[in-house]
Chains A and B, each alone.
Chain A
């Protein structure tokens, strides 16, 4: 079996708790959204009482992208008042996405960045584990936001780079790309046939913010709602297209999927597409305009006759 050494929390937790307490005591924010320890591992916590800020943790189990709680659909979170959000470098790119699309104002949220060295793939554990190539979340490798800039506070020491997983997501995407088309079709239709249309992927995504999702439109019904492979293919293709250039690769959609569809492969492919065609990389700079919705006069058109 793999090395099951436990790991201490990432540094900066004391500062994190102190900053959170000070923000609440000063009344600058009404609620802190961060991570806590629970019966089944780390999970999101909502703290309104300064005395409870010691519940905040940050370690390799803190996988969740808490930016999903900024989604304007969530009235009951907005009602709590101004939020201070604990964010990793990957998560905060989603805030930039929301800012770009005017879904949230920069002054509406306080961002407490934590320096991160990677997270676990299987994170529902009673104690944090040290990261190894076997247990690290594959998406952490090659992290390009180790020093997040879109933050109001940044705690923790710079951490070592996350270990290279046994197989990186890019390698897996390349393996798929290298396969004959029929095999790709067989792979993806088989994966999408598992889909039960719970829409967990959409609900948890910080950038799925439409008031009415296209899949819920019934007049006409563009995307079949039944969970048969034909309807599922339409749903998953549509979701991918709507996220092109916007997805921050936080991996939550795949983590939440109850039937294990490898959405991270699709997400990473989307990133390759916008990078190769439009030299675009998702970052935490809100001024960096998204590629879809934008255009250049000399955009690639090799596929057009």
Chain B
């Protein structure tokens, strides 16, 4: 990559401060108390007496909030492009007519700093369905307004598996640039015009001091090391997994793998690629209301409930099978992308013990052993 910059630790924080000062929203990892409330009562009333720090993507109010010392934010970037709930339009009756107020589809420019590669890649994966038969102006508007700068993952855990599904911790898919930690700061590599524009507009923070043999090599080594760290967790042949799922719809393996699922939907809410939503009309007063869309989950019992009362997916193992099917077979066949970027949040958040690394491993083994169905126990590492 020919244009590489160096930005020191303090200059990165300074960049955030400059952007905030110019009125640009900056979204970045921020440490949060698990109860997320500043009030004293919450600190004492929280069930976790020691303040368990977690990481979330937040709109910074101050550059000092930026926290790059911890791991994966608990929720993905999805909520900044497809909010948990958003108004689509408002209506008001006037006499015998109805006034409809559309919501804006243009958004103020904003920057995401230190995004995880899996979260940014997920956005590009979901771009496909958001621009399929209907161009989703709200999603697209937010995508266009946002410059995303990834940070090569300095730490991962054993539930990460981005390299097994076609991305990597130093990928720039869906993003505009990449920061890689080196001594004293980061090497910045823009990947798009937006990424280059960020460096150009903030020349005071970026220097060109990236010698290929020293800093450049350090960045390259770090990027390779990050990939190796993740690859150790899981390797699958995503295409044969896709084909196996596509041709083994009734295979008992998929039911067995789903057995302990409660259908709570936590996996879909933390997943960066899950994008299903419901649209509801909510009356706000006499003759007025708001049409909203809000996150939905294929794991909910009523997700496929027909008006007739029939529900083609009326049991949990069928719904769970559908999730695997959609992510690893249907979406790849339709859009050429796996609907999963290996962030591992679903596994971490599942308190019933569903483990996607284990599940993919089991299917991968089954796929490479034609005529046999792998036992999940053999797959567990």
The answer to whether A and B belong to the same complex is yes
B381 contacts which of A39, A197, A204, A221 (Cβ < 8 Å)? A39
A184 and B349 CA atoms in complex are apart in Å by 28
Give the residue name and chain of the B residue nearest to A253 (CB): B264
The interface residues of chain A, by DSSP majority, are classed as mixed
B294: interface (CB < 8 Å): yes
One of A6-14, A154-162, A169-177, A291-299 at the interface: A169-177
Known: A73-B301, A167-B49, A262-B35. A198 touches B265 (CB 8 A): yes
What 1/0 flags go to B286-314 for Cβ under 8 Å of A? 00000010110100111000000000001
Known: A165-B49, A175-B44. A187 touches B39 (CB 8 A): yes
One of A22-30, A143-151, A225-233, A235-243 at the interface: A225-233
Contact B47 A166 (CB under 8 A): no
Contact A190 B355 (CB under 8 A): no
- Interface residue tally on B, bucketed by range: 35 or more
A105: interface (CB < 8 Å): no
Contacts of B266 in A (CB 8 A): 198, 200, 256-258
A118: interface (CB < 8 Å): no
Contact B44 A258 (CB under 8 A): no
Contact A204 B262 (CB under 8 A): yes
Contact A75 B39 (CB under 8 A): no
Give the residue name and chain of the A residue nearest to B293 (CB): A226
CB of B63, distance to nearest CB on chain A (Å): 25
A264: interface (CB < 8 Å): yes
A214: interface (CB < 8 Å): no
Contact B282 A226 (CB under 8 A): yes
Contacts of A226 in B (CB 8 A): 85, 280, 282, 292, 294
Known: A76-B315, A138-B47, A225-B280. A260 touches B355 (CB 8 A): no
A1 and B52 CA atoms in complex are apart in Å by 13
A201 and B269 CA atoms in complex are apart in Å by 14
Contact B352 A190 (CB under 8 A): no
A121 contacts which of B35, B44, B48, B317 (Cβ < 8 Å)? B48
CB of B68, distance to nearest CB on chain A (Å): 22
CB of B235, distance to nearest CB on chain A (Å): 16
Which residues of A (178-236) have their CB < 8 Å from a CB of B?
179, 183-184, 186-187, 190-191, 194, 196-201, 203-204, 216, 221, 224-228
> Could you list 12 further interchain pairs (A-B, Cβ under 8 angstroms) beyond the known A175-B45, A204-B262?
A38-B355, A40-B159, A134-B49, A138-B47, A172-B44, A187-B39, A190-B39, A204-B352, A225-B294, A226-B280, A226-B292, A228-B85
